[in-house]
Amino acid sequence: MRVLTSWLRHYLPTLSVTDRQLADDLTLRGIAVEGVHALSSGHLFEMDITTNRVDAMNHYGIAREAATIYNLPLAPLHPQVGVGTLVDAPFSVSIAEEAKGLCGRFTAQVLRGVTIAPSTGRVAEYFGLLGQKQISNAVDASNFVLLGMGHPTHAFDLDKIEGGIVVRLARKGEKLRLLDGTERTLEADDLVVADEKKALALAGVMGGWDSMITPETKNILVEAAWFDPASVRRSSRRHMLHTDASHRFERGADFNAAPLANALVSALILEAGGKPEGELIDVVDPDVAARTADRSPIELSVAQVRRHLGTTIDADGITSEIVQQYLTSLGCQPLIHGLDVYLVKLPSWRLDLEREIDLIEEIARVYGYNRFANTLPTALPVTESPAAPTERAVRTRLLELGFSETVSSTFASREDANLFYGADGAQTGKHTVAMENPLSDEASLLRPSLVPGMLSMLANNLNRDVREARLFEQGQVFTGTVPAGASYVAEVHEAAQLSLGLTSAAMQPTALHSAADAPVFELKGVIESLASLVALPGGGAALSFTTANAPAWLETGRSAVALLNGRPFAVFGELAASEREARKLRQPVYLAQLDLAWLYELPLKRAASHDLSRFQAVERDFSFVFPDAVIWQAVADALDALAIAEMQSRKPVEVWRDAKKQPGVHSLLLRVVFQSHDRTLREEEIAGWSSRIVDALKGLGGTQRA
């Protein structure tokens, strides 16, 4: 929003501070000035007004804020229109029964013998400084009043109106050509300003083409009204029309501003000639007035103001006199109701004020947040969640492994829930939790699994030509308990879960795995790395893997289940081809789902360090052929069981198989590193340990290669 300081000073003739100081003081009080630009006369403020402060979206509203800050008098708005010649049949205005509550107030003023000409005087001067397009004095008057005091108005060519004005709901399919030249087909809940035969304007949004002001216009009907915010918002969204008028009405216009705005526009038009006919027509809906302009007063205690706001840096603090001064300047009417207690009548333009705390916030804002002492509030002690250290460790480890953290929707569709969760009504807590008023069928349940959200994020990356992604999400999943014989969820359970997603257009093979297998084993390695963060009961042997009972949404033969002491705690593998095709994913996708609650229950390992050995390390390679039934875990367990303290590491260097020449077996090249911290190893020691390793591997059914 653009604001002229010269226009502000017209309303504040005694304002003595510089424009720069004014900008700083307004910003400190929540009326943000984001830019100050020098003009030939004063400055132009670029302002950011929050949506709840529609009263400040104009020059007069900002001048009111400045008057409150500096305790200055604000020039009143007193347009001189006068009362025109009375007529036997005054112009008629009515609000149809179906529009009651949607049009709370409608004012109309007939002007006869007007002259349509270019704008002059303050209108032309201010519009030139603002860069505002000038059309004609009648149209410019409406725009000038909107920028000046904030209330939308409209001028109709009176001679194009057939009969009187009727504010009504549109007839379904009714046509209306608007000022932008487009013809709109109206719906039955569109509010329109009409005459006895046709619609003239889309109420609160835009006027109509057939009644617009032209150079030939001689007689005008000036309109200013109050329209229901929801009705204006509905029509504005439906017809994709966001105008200055709809912007104000959608946020709650001032019910009492309509007569003043009408008079201001009429006075500006009459400066070029013409005269009013009759008095201002003012049709009011008392029910709307009661809930907007005539709201019940709010009780405000000065003691409560001090309690909420605390100590100030000024010796006197916030006194009753300051409270009364600020509230009065803001347009409130504080009446003494007791000892330092006020009954505050609210201004019609501040619909955002509803409770005592709102008034306290206004006092703090105007007083200046920078004038309060820096004190810490008394509060309950904040304690960290017991799972927080493990959660941080998991996040750090995944980031180190090249994964990026993501956040997906908390909702899921019923189809995804059934596929990736598989609710079982026979088990306690295995029901999905439906939303009572879902936004859509795609978000009808609280998510029982993080996998659907992870799939959506991987799909978004692939659809934007990001061909390689490694993502993770830590979040809560939700299940429900249904009482016996009932059909509703009585209790909702939350559980921590981790989801991993991986996809790449060009996976690289390793010494142990083909390019197609590498992603599956990468996920397996990630799970092992995460499990290594905690002290597993039973040590490394507590974690095992099986290909049995993998979920149906993972590809058979390319998926597995991770077991912690025999209990499933993670599943991982390649997404089933049928699901990938159904979701139109361009390349294979690999997923993992982990139950974090199990990790949260275990203590984190404490980091330990030791001196590096000063003695030479010795490597030995062992080449064996094993039956396919022998897995690496069995080899690792057999080596660990030897309890050779000097064996610092053992790892597979290469695995290969030839199904045609040697079916049912695979070859393993194993590398073992020996090292001591207190001596140089002797050859006979190494030979003895190597012999024990060979015997252990043969005990697994392995055959040593020459």
Tally the residues of the chain. Answer: 706
pLDDT reported for residue 516: 80
Q: Supply the mean pLDDT for the chain.
A: 91
Q: Is 25 left (phi over 0), alpha (psi -120 to 50) or beta?
A: alpha
For residue 136, which amino acid is it? S
- Rounded CA separation 584/575 (Å): 12
- Identify the structural domains of the chain with CATH numbers, from first to last: 2-70 (3.30.56.10), 93-291 (3.50.40.10), 298-371 (3.30.56.10), 388-600 (3.30.930.10), 618-704 (3.30.70.380)
- Rounded CA separation 235/647 (Å): 77
Beta bridge partners of 36: 45
- Rounded CA separation 246/153 (Å): 11
- Within the chain, what is the greatest distance between any pair of CA atoms? 127
Around Cβ 528, how many Cβ atoms within 10 Å?
13
Element (H, E) at 303: helix 302-309
Q: Taking the mean position of all CA atoms in its chain, how far away is CA 424? A: 34
Half-sphere exposure of 349 (CA within 13 A, CB side): 20
* pLDDT classification of 660: cutoffs 50, 70, 90: confident
- Rounded CA separation 27/435 (Å): 42
pLDDT digit string, tens, across residues 249-308: 999 999 999 999 999 999 999 999 999 998 899 999 999 999 999 999 999 999 999 989
Around Cβ 655, how many Cβ atoms within 10 Å?
16
- Rounded CA separation 343/67 (Å): 23
- Rounded CA separation 208/197 (Å): 14
Q: Is 254 left (phi over 0), alpha (psi -120 to 50) or beta?
A: beta
Confidence check: pLDDT of 597 > 70: yes
Least confident range of 10-14, 427-431, 483-487: 427-431
Instruction: Tokens for 47, please give them.
Output: 């302002």
- Rounded CA separation 247/260 (Å): 20
Contact 646, 674 (CB under 8 A): yes
pLDDT digit string, tens, across residues 399-412: 999 999 999 999 99
Q: Given the DSSP bridges, would you call strands 404-405 and 333-338 parallel, antiparallel or unpaired?
A: unpaired
Contact 497, 477 (CB under 8 A): yes
Contact 185, 173 (CB under 8 A): yes
Mean of the pLDDT values across residues 103-110?
A: 95
The beta strands (E) that lie in 140-245 are given as: 153-157, 165-169, 175-177, 183-185, 191-194, 199-202, 206-207, 220-227
Mean of the pLDDT values across residues 687-693?
A: 95
- Rounded CA separation 629/648 (Å): 27
pLDDT reported for residue 429: 55
pLDDT reported for residue 541: 75
Mean of the pLDDT values across residues 213-218?
A: 95
- Rounded CA separation 114/128 (Å): 24
Which pairs count as long-range contacts for 396-399, CB under 8 Å and 24+ apart, including other chains?
Answer: 397/529, 397/530, 397/533, 398/472, 398/500, 398/526, 398/530
pLDDT reported for residue 339: 82
- Rounded CA separation 359/364 (Å): 9
Q: Taking the mean position of all CA atoms in its chain, how far away is CA 525? A: 36
- Rounded CA separation 624/656 (Å): 11
For residue 212, which amino acid is it? M
Mean of the pLDDT values across residues 490-507?
A: 89
What is the DSSP secondary-structure string of 356-408? HHHHHHHHHHHH-GGGB---PPP-PPP---TTHHHHHHHHHHHHHTT-EE---
Query: What whole-number percentage of the chain has pLDDT above 70?
Result: 96
- Rounded CA separation 649/646 (Å): 9
* pLDDT classification of 468: cutoffs 50, 70, 90: very high
Least confident range of 69-73, 110-114, 380-384: 380-384
Kindly provide the b/e burial profile for residues 14-38, where b requires at least 16 CB atoms within 10 angstroms of the residue's own CB.
Answer: ebeeebeebbebbebbbbebeeeee
- Rounded CA separation 93/88 (Å): 15
Q: What is the pTM of this model?
A: 0.59
pLDDT reported for residue 430: 73
pLDDT digit string, tens, across residues 242-259: 999 999 999 999 999 999
CA angle centred on 137, ends 135 and 138, rounded to 5°? 95
Mean of the pLDDT values across residues 430-442?
A: 83
Q: Given the DSSP bridges, would you call strands 165-169 and 93-95 parallel, antiparallel or unpaired?
A: parallel
Confidence check: pLDDT of 457 > 70: yes
* pLDDT classification of 84: cutoffs 50, 70, 90: low
pLDDT reported for residue 542: 84
Residues 6+ apart with CB under 8 A from 521: 510, 512, 513
- Rounded CA separation 85/87 (Å): 6
pLDDT reported for residue 656: 85
What is the DSSP secondary-structure string of 515-582? TTTHHHHHHHHHHHHHHTTB--TTGGGGEEEESTT--TTEEEEEEEEEEETTEEEEEEEEEPHHHHHH
Mean of the pLDDT values across residues 595-605?
A: 88
Confidence check: pLDDT of 189 > 70: yes
Confidence check: pLDDT of 177 > 50: yes
* pLDDT classification of 623: cutoffs 50, 70, 90: very high
Instruction: Tokens for 683, please give them.
Output: 């050859």
- Rounded CA separation 2/178 (Å): 27
pLDDT reported for residue 425: 44
Confidence check: pLDDT of 379 > 70: no
